[in-house]
Structure 1
Amino acid sequence: MEAAFIRHIELLGYEKRFFPSQHYVYMFLVKWNDLSEKVVYRRFTEIYEFHKALKEMFPIESGDINVENRIIPHLPAPKWFDGQRSTQNRQGTLTEYCYALVNLPHKISRCPHVVSFFKVRPDDMSPVTDSQIKKPEVFLLPKDAKKNVSDITGPIVLQTYRAIADYEKSSTSEMALKAGDMVDVVEKSESGRCLC
Structure 2
Amino acid sequence: MAEPYIRHAQLLGFEKRFSPSQHYVYMFMVKWQDLTEKLVYRKYTEIYEFHKELKDTFPIESGQINKEHRTIPHLPAPKWFDGLRSTENRQVTLADYCSSILNLPPKISRCPHVLNFFKVRPDDVNPTASNNGRKPETFLLKTDNTKKNASDITGPIILQSYRAIADYEKNTKSELSVNTDDVVEVVEKKENGWWFCQMKNKRGWVPAAYLEPLDSPDESEEQEPNYEGELHMTTQDYSGELEDELSMEGGETVEVIHKLLDGWWVVRRGSKTGFFPAMYLQKSGDTPSEGTSKTKGLPPRRKTIKSANSIHQQKRKEISQDTYRRNSKKYLKQRQSVVDVMNSMTIEELNEVENKAQPAIPPRPSKELILDKCSEHTKNKIQVVN
Report the TM-score when normalising by structure 2: 0.39
Rounded to whole Å, the distance in 1 between the matches of 2:86 and 2:5 is 30
SS in structure 2 at match of 1:40: strand
Amino acid at match of 1:89: N
1:130 equivalent in structure 2: 130
How far is 1:147 from its partner?
1.5
Query: Are residues 1:76 and 2:76 paired?
Result: yes
Distance (Å, rounded) in 1 between the aligned partners of 2:8 and 2:143: 17
**CA offsets per residue over residues 121-140 of structure 1, 9 Å max, x none?**
01001111135331000000
Give me the whole-angstrom Cα distance separating, in 1, the residues matched to 2:148 and 2:16.
Answer: 25
| Residues in 1 aligned to 2:104 and 2:3: alpha-carbon distance in whole angstroms | 17
Q: CA RMSD in A?
A: 1.2
The Cα shift of 1:3 comes to 1.3
Partner of 2:147: 147
Equivalent residue runs for 1:20-169 within 5 Å: 20-130=20-130, 132-149=132-149, 151=151
Shift of 1:149: 4.8
Equivalent residues of 2:19, 2:131 under 8 A apart: no
1:150 & 1:11 partners in 2: Cα distance?
A: 12
User: Deviation of residue 150 (structure 1)?
Assistant: 5.0
Which segments of 5 or more consecutive residues in structure 1 lack a partner in the other structure?
Answer: 153-196
> Partners in 1 of 2:21 and 2:150 — Cα distance?
38
3-state SS of paired residue (1:148): helix
Q: Deviations over 1:84-134 (max 9, x none)?
A: 111001001001001101100000000000000000001001111135331
Counterpart CA distance in 2 for 1:41 and 1:108 is: 22
Relative to structure 1, the CA distance from residue 11 to residue 132 in structure 2 (aligned partners, 3 Å threshold; closer, same or farther) is same
- What is aligned with 1:17? 17
Partner of 2:2: 2
Question: What percent identity do the matched residue pairs reach?
Answer: 66
Task: Choose 26-35 or 126-135, whichever is displaced more.
Answer: 126-135
In structure 1, how many angstroms separate the alpha carbons of the residues matched to 2:66 and 2:133? 50
Query: Structure 1: how far apart are the matches of 2:124 and 2:115?
Result: 15
Aligned with 2:38: secondary structure?
Answer: strand
Contact 1:14 1:138 in 2 (8 A): yes
- What does the per-residue CA deviation read over 1:122-178, in whole Å, with 9 as the maximum and x for residues that have no partner? 1001111135331000000012211125528xxxxxxxxxxxxxxxxxxxxxxxxxx
The whole-number CA distance in structure 2 between the counterparts of 1:141 and 1:102 is: 20
- SS of corresponding position for 1:147: helix
**Matches of 1:142 and 1:150 in 2, distance apart?**
13
1:48 & 1:130 partners in 2: Cα distance? 25
Q: How many residues align?
A: 152
TM-score relative to the length of structure 1:
0.75
The CA distance in 1 between the partners of 2:150 and 2:28, in whole Å, is 18
Structure 2 residue runs without a partner (length 5+): 153-386
- CA deviations 1:54-113 (Å, max 9, x no partner) are 000000000111011000010000011111111001001001001101100000000000
Q: For residues 149 and 124 of structure 1, what CA distance do their matches in structure 2 show?
A: 25
Q: Conserved in 2, the CA contact under 8 Å of 1:18 and 1:133?
A: no
In structure 1, give the amino acid aligned to 2:138. V
For 1:17 and 1:68, the matched residues in 2 are separated by 40
**Counterpart residue number, 1:186:** none
Runs of 4 or more above 2 Å deviation: 130-133, 148-152
Q: Secondary structure at the match of 1:9?
A: strand
Quick check: 1:8–1:102 contact (8 Å CA) kept in 2? Answer: yes
CA distance, structure 1, for counterparts of residue 139 and residue 41 of structure 2: 13
